Structure 1
């Protein structure tokens, strides 16, 4: 691999692909050729012809004559490599990074006993979990916190972008998870705020899925809503339950008020199909944008030329000090 690299940068084509920090040095490239041409012409004029009574074979004369140029070629390549190194060659490696501009969100699901009502087949809770799971699959670029609540809130998953962990946490939600009875909308929304408040992301939303009014907890829903506005958190509320008369009728009033006060939106889901459509609409409204970050990486190539010049220096030194030099000069 190393030898392939050396061969590639020595190729003429590679030189044209380089950029140069100090281009002025490139004007010196003809200088080695001029020096050796000038020296060759002077040496040629000063040579004295000696006529011998015998002649060496022509083939040997030609080989010796060709080899006599080896030291000059080595020196010429050495100077050329030094000039190229001093010119500061570098290559530009263009890079592109795709960075999704995601949203931070908290998903709060009511798991109180009323969510076991089967007016939405197979039950309000099962449908909510199924649709929420599909929603999480589509939000791979977002950070999501999962909160379950009944008479008290429960943090099923802190904010994360690990969709597998979130889906596992969601599948484990059950009405028996929280002992406190009732529906603590205010406390659930408060826990959503705690998960999102410190996020530097300007895009923050909460999605609150329930079927009833606030009947438990310490925090008033409107107080939680005002806090959501303070931290720039938009709240979507979804009331789940059939429009038909039921033992556990859906109370829309508080959920509507939370959505209106937080610049969010209220939805009513009467079956699995409508709940899927609601989540699809939220998915489109809160779409994730993608940033394309481009930058250039400058890779210095001068070291290769310095190394090559260093190697040629020792080659030239070897030719000068060894018996090879005597053969070439003869």
Structure 2
């Protein structure tokens, strides 16, 4: 059994509170009766008043309240088992988090644009497994292969240019680390979506792409930025204080290296797409996924949980209904039995 809205269980604390209020009310009534006169005389003035009925009414109301609370909690029980088969491919997103991705030639900036694109791609996926790699001067594993898209988006939004300490852009490191995410023995199709401005400060990106091709990986390169380029703003508390400069104190202009990214993608028989238009990227990725063979990579037994709230609500309303007919005077046949020694 699992509870859909367990937060409502805190309402159960109202049950003992109501019991305490009831006991206090009974004490207060008894105290007032003593002030009015002798208790035995007061009882004789209201001979039909039952001592047991108020307790019974309280018990019925509390039981109804408990059922209402469990109705809100919505307990679920597994009533049958289903075989769930998933078909898809393995996808790794390798995201450039170097300082050049802070350039604002693409709004709001290259890095935020990259996050938007990846998030939109994830929204289009069905049962594919995904992983995330961050890279700058070196590569860093952010999220291993998973089918939990909500967790992937959470990690995605937390990425920034400080996640990798060494600066620069090493596309070969990103490709090599991404390759480790895939199972060499698995027949599942392998796709690497490489998101970058293409400014590579290392050597060996083409060699890494060739090795990836031998492993059966396909690379789609998404170019973020403009060929005209832009300066890299340096912000303090969200305010641009200056721009990044080189050793000669010249403002660094970072540009999109479209050709480099295309070369890497073509090596693996993949493709290149301009990332400045999100819709264009999504359509391109979607069309590519439609052409890639899907593989069954998981078969599991899953309990099909069904809500049980209706039973608790039904019982609660029934108890509230019969409570209407519980009067506080003595019941004739119970009075004859004298269960509570109420006869004189």
Q: 1:288 to 1:240 in 2, by over 3 A?
A: same
Does residue 274 of structure 1 match 2:258? Answer: no
Does residue 222 of structure 1 match 2:206? Answer: yes
Q: Which moved more, 1:122-131 or 1:199-208?
A: 199-208
3-state SS, counterpart of residue 120 of structure 2 = helix
Structure number with larger C-alpha Rg: 1
Q: Which moved more, 1:122-131 or 1:271-280?
A: 271-280
Using the size of structure 2 for normalisation, the TM-score is 0.52
CA contact (8 A) 2:130 2:147 kept: yes
Q: In proportion to residue count, which structure has more helix?
A: 1
Aligned residues: 197
Q: 1:244 to 1:214 in 2, by over 3 A?
A: closer
- Of 136, 158, 161 in structure 1, the residue corresponding to residue 147 of structure 2 is 161
Instruction: Give the distance between the partners of 1:290 and 1:212, measured in 2 at CA.
Output: 34
Instruction: Give the distance between the partners of 1:245 and 1:225, measured in 2 at CA.
Output: 26
- Of 236, 240, 252 in structure 1, the residue corresponding to residue 220 of structure 2 is 236
Match of 1:124 in 2: 110
CA contact (8 A) 2:193 2:221 kept: yes
CA contact (8 A) 1:103 1:201 kept: no
Computed over aligned residues only, the root mean square deviation of the Cα atoms, in angstroms, reads: 2.6
- Of 211, 217, 240 in structure 1, the residue corresponding to residue 197 of structure 2 is 211
3-state SS, counterpart of residue 256 of structure 1 = helix
3-state SS, counterpart of residue 272 of structure 2 = strand
Does residue 248 of structure 1 match 2:254? Answer: yes
The alpha carbon displacement at 1:106 in A equals: 1.1
CA contact (8 A) 1:98 1:290 kept: no
Does residue 152 of structure 1 match 2:158? Answer: no
Instruction: Give the distance between the partners of 2:278 and 2:254, measured in 1 at CA.
Output: 18
CA contact (8 A) 1:121 1:271 kept: no
The alpha carbon displacement at 1:99 in A equals: 2.2
Instruction: Give the distance between the partners of 2:176 and 2:183, measured in 1 at CA.
Output: 10
Q: 1:287 to 1:125 in 2, by over 3 A?
A: farther
3-state SS, counterpart of residue 131 of structure 2 = strand
3-state SS, counterpart of residue 141 of structure 1 = coil
The alpha carbon displacement at 1:152 in A equals: 0.8
CA contact (8 A) 2:136 2:166 kept: yes
CA contact (8 A) 2:188 2:294 kept: no
Q: Which moved more, 1:121-130 or 1:190-199?
A: 190-199
3-state SS, counterpart of residue 201 of structure 2 = coil
The alpha carbon displacement at 1:242 in A equals: 2.9
Q: 1:254 to 1:245 in 2, by over 3 A?
A: closer
Instruction: Give the distance between the partners of 2:146 and 2:82, measured in 1 at CA.
Output: 25
Match of 1:12 in 2: none
CA contact (8 A) 2:119 2:153 kept: yes
Match of 2:46 in 1: none
In structure 2, the gaps of 5 or more residues are 1-80, 231-252, 300-344
